[in-house]
Amino acid sequence: MSLLVIGSVAFDAIETPFGKTDKIVGGAATYASLAASYFCDQVKIVAVVGDDFPQSEINDFHNHHIDTKGLQIKKGEKSFFWSGRYHNDMNSRDTLITELNVLGDFDPIIPDSYQDSEFLMLGNLTPQVQQTVIKRLNKRPKLIVMDTMNFWMDIALNDLLETIKLIDVLTINDAEARQLSGEYSLVKAANKILAMGPKYLIIKKGEHGALLFGEGKIFSAPALPLEDVFDPTGAGDTFAGGFIGYMAKVGTVNFTNMKNAIIYGSALASFCVEKFGTEKLKNLTEQEIASRLQQFVSLSKFEII
Ligand code: AMP
């Protein structure tokens, strides 16, 4: 089934305790669409870049069968730029620079050929733009997943609250769940957030995995303990892309499929962090993904005897 992904397509500059990059390609829609492309062969993106964005990177989308008809290229303008520095624990980071550039007045135009998309991934962007995309679709998709971050909770909370009323699955990290709900307990936080509109909530806990809440149930997914984590940037977007890409592949929305989707998303996120930027995510094989999924199964399978 077809999947529409919106979000930033960007340049990032990243500092970790292991190294530093100059401007490399990143962005929420970049990570999410690449991840989804491993499970869904009809991924389409709506995003905006400046004419500083390299054609070779657009070619890489095409190599992954990602439709870029909805990628606007603004002449004479600069792409979104984000820079962050990770702390020693690699779980927390400081944003050093956010230059909105072309994202500042982004008007998400949906090509006609995207109108029949059955799945929608609202990657990290202003909640106002995320909402506009939902409203511009003639038919409501079967599943709408939305990712957001503390930045929008700080500067656009009302828009964010309006937008999450319209979606099915919200993905945020544990600190953001606490900020949005005002509750420390993640169970209480989840109950409050589900009352705000989404049917399901996924709380990402970095190296400690993820929790899925919905239908009165909770599922806890592990994260793979990795020897080396080079760059966690994009792990959340990769997770969300893998999650919805798998849902688009199976087509039926229910808690059981979402449990599997969380493991697929976690497996792809575990690859993402092993190299800087999108490097690892661009060159995975089916075999690598299958064996990583098996590692997830054996990691948490047990019998009480
Ligand atoms: P993640 O590590 O999954 O939270 O996502 C990191 C990606 O989000 C980077 O590649 C950034 O380009 C992108 N990003 C950071 N801040 C924003 C923002 N305010 N709006 C949209 N995308 C952002």
pLDDT at 119 exceeding the cut of 90: yes
Spatial contact of 83 and 71, defined as CB atoms under 8 Å apart: no
CA distance 99 to 283: 29
What is residue 233's predicted lDDT score, i.e. its pLDDT?
Answer: 93
C-alpha radius of gyration, the chain, whole number: 18
CATH label, 3-300, candidates 3.30.365.10, 3.40.1190.20, 3.40.710.10, 3.90.25.10: 3.40.1190.20
5, 34, 82: which to mutate for ligand 1, most atoms within 8 A of CB? Answer: 82
- Does pLDDT of 305 surpass 90? no
- Ligand 1 pocket, residue 8 CB under 6 Å: yes
92 C-alpha to ligand 1 centroid (Å): 14
Q: Nearest CA to 204 among 227, 180, 186, 192?
A: 186
**AA identity, residue 234:** G
Q: Which amino acid is at 69?
A: K
Report which secondary-structure segment, H or E, holds 192: helix 186-194
Atom of ligand 1 nearest to the CA of 236: 3
Q: How confident is the model at residue 253 (pLDDT cuts 50, 70, 90)?
A: very high
Q: Is 206 in the pocket of ligand 1 (CB under 6 A)?
A: no
Calpha distance 1→251 (Å, rounded): 7
CA 301 – ligand 1 centroid, Å: 33
Q: Is the CB of 234 inside a 6 Å radius of any atom of ligand 1?
A: yes
The residue nearest atom 14 of ligand 1, judged by CA position, is 27
Q: Is the pLDDT of residue 298 over 90?
A: yes
Give the DSSP H or E segment for 220: strand 217-221
pLDDT attached to residue 108: 98
164 lines ligand 1 (CB under 6 A): no
How, if at all, do strands 80-86 and 10-16 pair?
Answer: parallel
Cβ of residue 284 lying under 6 Å from some atom of ligand 1: no
- Residue 181 and residue 185: Cα distance in Å, rounded? 10
| Predicted pLDDT of residue 18 | 85
In whole angstroms, how far apart are CA 287 and each of 167, 190, 278, 293?
Answer: 34, 36, 19, 10
Ligand 1 pocket check for 235: Cβ under 6 Å? yes
Question: What is the tens place of the pLDDT at every residue in 197-230?
Answer: 999 999 999 889 999 999 999 999 999 999 888 8
Instruction: Please write the tens of the pLDDT for every residue from 18-61.
Output: 889 989 999 999 999 999 999 999 999 999 999 999 999 999 99
Say if ligand 1 is within 6 A of residue 27 CB. yes
pLDDT score of 140: 97
In whole angstroms, what is the distance from residue 73 CA to residue 45 CA?
13
Q: What is the rounded average pLDDT of the residues 63-89?
A: 96
Token duo for residue 283: 């060159």
Matching residue, tokens 């998709």: 141
Q: Whole-model pTM? A: 0.96
- What distance in angstroms lies between residue 305's CA and the mean position of ligand 1's atoms? 45
- Rounded to the nearest angstrom, the gap between the alpha carbon of residue 66 and the centroid of all alpha carbons in its chain is 16
**Pocket flag, ligand 1, residue 171 (CB < 6 Å):** no
- One-character DSSP codes across 104-141: GG------GGGTT-SEEEE-SS-HHHHHHHHHH-SS--
- What pLDDT sits at residue 199? 97
CA of 124 to the centre of ligand 1 (A): 6
Answer whether 125 contacts ligand 1 (Cβ < 6 A): yes
Residue nearest atom 20 in ligand 1 by C-alpha distance: 125
What are the extents of the domains in the chain?
Answer: 3-300
Question: What share of the chain in percent tops pLDDT 90?
Answer: 90
pLDDT tens track for 258-277: 999 999 999 999 999 999 89
**Structure confidence at residue 71 (pLDDT):** 98
The rounded distance, in Å, linking the Cα atoms of 62 and 73 is 16
